[in-house]
Chain A
Amino acid sequence: MSEMLLSARGLRVEYPSRAGGRVRALRDVDLDIARGETLGLVGESGCGKSTLGRALLRVVEPSAGRIEFLGADLTRLRGRRLRRTRAELQMVFQDPFGSLNPRRRIADIVAEPLLRSRGASRAEADRAVSELLDLVGLGAEAGDRKPHEFSGGQRQRIGIARALASSPQFVVADEAVSALDVSIQAQVLNLLSDLVRDRGLTMLFISHDLGVVRNIADRVAVMYLGQIIEVASRDDFFAGPAHPYSQALLSSVPVLRPGPAREQQPLEGELPDPADPPEGCLFRTRCPFATDDCRARRPELREIAPGRSVRCHLPLLPSE
């Protein structure tokens, strides 16, 4: 595999639980992201995918683990070095309404990361903002307006312009197109693909929507209950996931396909309480293939083929 831009090792995030204990939102996550790739991070509500994205940018503080980025451990950076490094790491949020300050002009919103992290002058920032607003298809004149004057899709373009302002190397897009209608979602996805390609961006694309991920990601990582349970290339993953949970997830997505609708077997049960996870494999309580061994031993994430890892004692062989 090509050069790694970012590598996380043993990343752990814990929150206090209502019962007084600790809930582990990230369970010692290892993750490598290669320079220039888009890694799709998928999973259902509460699986920890947003927490992972935030922990990588130190928006939430990990309680254990390391994040190697540009030769330094991100978790140990402080002060000026942290601020400088932050310019290389940006985020596009889901909510195009909540993430933009309603009282500020678009130009000021977009310029902020440039002024703060890159120490740009006002004139430099103004020029960069005009270019960025053109780049995301809004036009430089949008800079004088305020967020409420824009539709959801346009606000998401503003969020993208802001994320790109400091010329970051790594962008986390957290459900960046999920709140948009499908016709607008397609426009914004196309824009993101173009930007990633033209600017050589590395992106962690977090989404619950597997169709969207298939259309933008080079590789896919699946999370369940705070763990990564499968990592594979996009094509391998969609040809046949190796983890029973990945398979259940993929087969639950309704497909636009002619002919009679399939009679599928939905995955039974619901997510276990993260404060009281099962012994052994975390998925075994819902897994149709679980054995005694799955109760006795918690599986490690292991490589079963080049570039393909799975956290399962009995991985499914990809069907030909």
Chain B
Amino acid sequence: MTSLVESRPTQAEAEAVLEVRDLRVHFDVPTGRLPAVDGVDLTLRKGEILALVGESGSGKSALSMSLVGLNRGPRTHVSGSVSFRGRELVGASERELRTVRGKEVAVVFQDALAALNPLHRAGTQVAETIRAHADVPRATAASRAVELLGEVGIAGPERASRAYPHQLSGGMRQRVMIAMGLANDPAVLIADEPTTALDVTIQAQVLALLKRVQRDHGTSVLLITHDLGVVAEVADRVAVMYAGRIVEQGTRDEVLFRPQHPYTMGLLGSVPPLEGPVPERLPAIAGSPPSGIERPNGCGFSPRCAFAHDACGERPELRRRHGGAGHLDACVLPEAIRAVRSAG
């Protein structure tokens, strides 16, 4: 942990809005205990878009849900620390959490149809989000809701505010979700795969909206996604997650274009390129991610890694090894081997 602190510029340290330290989220499943999130350190800085990237089962959604206590229950075990502007959220009461969630930290989910109440009009749902945290008259909240729907790029916000969720398109529903997220001008917006269900032309509109929110309101955005193209388009910094742990973290350019961890390299190589030469075969990663409760003792990626050796049997620390000051990775491979790998 100390290496993390040392490697980060002190100025950035002061700007942290959300600090995650050694977060663990374990689920009781019929076969035992699933370590969905297995010791994660992460800092979200003021006004940045931080992308959390990973494939199914990497733990990225379990992590994002746990940040504001959204996955609680007898079968869920959360430990570690999530600090929002100095307030500890892990172990906080539901009442305390409610003062933060939806107000200072808002969450936007992938599936807007499931997240919206089908029985209430879009405008009413946005207005209720405002009234949950501010003592304003119904009429004031309603007109603010229409304004918000306009701000998120809905044409004819008056009409949309009177529509029920099923009467809106997928792109419109996702905008309503984002309007609800922005209703109380949050410091942090957690967006979990917000564009995954959308067509690319609508995705482009929603991504442009997220960037505008970040720029105009100084909102910090934690964007959870599996899509590396989306990351390249909007992220300032990137954290890559595999088997419950962060394996690499740095600026967008560092992680996407000077990757250090073999998993990041493999992931980037698997994306069918939209430009440049078309490869004869895509350099796929062999095998599949761990799905059950069994996890290797050391590096979680070592069973699929072409460069795994004896040293990978111990859990690698996420720290600065070869890259810039904030470029961290969790791979013990010597630099010479990685150079061969990334050139290859």
Could you say which residues of chain B place their CB within 8 Å of the CB of A256?
228-229, 232, 256, 268, 271, 273-274
Contact string against B for A residues 152-171, beta-carbon threshold 8 Å, 1 for contact and 0 otherwise: 11000000000000000000
The residues of B with any CB-CB pair to A shorter than 8 Å are 55-56, 155, 169-172, 199-205, 207-208, 226-230, 232-234, 253, 256-257, 266-275, 278-279, 281-286, 288-289, 291
Summed over the interface, the residue pairs from A and B with CB atoms below 8 Å come to a total of 125
Could you tell me if A210 and B274 are in contact, using CB atoms closer than 8 angstroms?
Answer: yes
Could you tell me if A193 and B203 are in contact, using CB atoms closer than 8 angstroms?
Answer: no
A213 to chain B, nearest CB (A): 8
B306 to chain A, nearest CB (A): 13
Could you tell me if A186 and B270 are in contact, using CB atoms closer than 8 angstroms?
Answer: yes
A19 to chain B, nearest CB (A): 14
A210 to B234, CA, bound (A): 19
A262 to B87, CA, bound (A): 37
- Please report which residues of chain A, range 167-204, place their CB below 8 angstroms from some CB of chain B when the two chains form the complex: 181-187, 189-190, 193
A20 CB within 8 Å of chain B: no
Could you tell me if A151 and B291 are in contact, using CB atoms closer than 8 angstroms?
Answer: yes
Could you tell me if B272 and A267 are in contact, using CB atoms closer than 8 angstroms?
Answer: no
Could you say which residues of chain B place their CB within 8 Å of the CB of A234?
278
Q: Which one of A151, A182, A193 has the highest number of Cβ atoms from chain B below 10 Å of its Cβ?
A: A182
Taking CB as reference atom, which chain B residue is nearest A154? B288
Could you say which residues of chain B place their CB within 8 Å of the CB of A151?
288, 291
A255 to B204, CA, bound (A): 12
Could you tell me if A266 and B291 are in contact, using CB atoms closer than 8 angstroms?
Answer: no
Stretch in A1-9, A80-88, A246-254, A296-304 with 4+ CB within 8 Å of B: A246-254
A17 CB within 8 Å of chain B: no
A158 to chain B, nearest CB (A): 15
Could you say which residues of chain B place their CB within 8 Å of the CB of A210?
200, 274
A212 CB within 8 Å of chain B: yes
A139 CB within 8 Å of chain B: no
A124 to chain B, nearest CB (A): 32
A186 to B55, CA, bound (A): 13
* Other A-B pairs beyond A183-B285, A211-B229, 14, CB < 8 Å: A181-B226, A183-B289, A186-B270, A186-B284, A190-B281, A214-B278, A253-B274, A254-B204, A254-B227, A255-B229, A255-B232, A261-B234, A264-B204, A270-B172
A215 to B289, CA, bound (A): 24
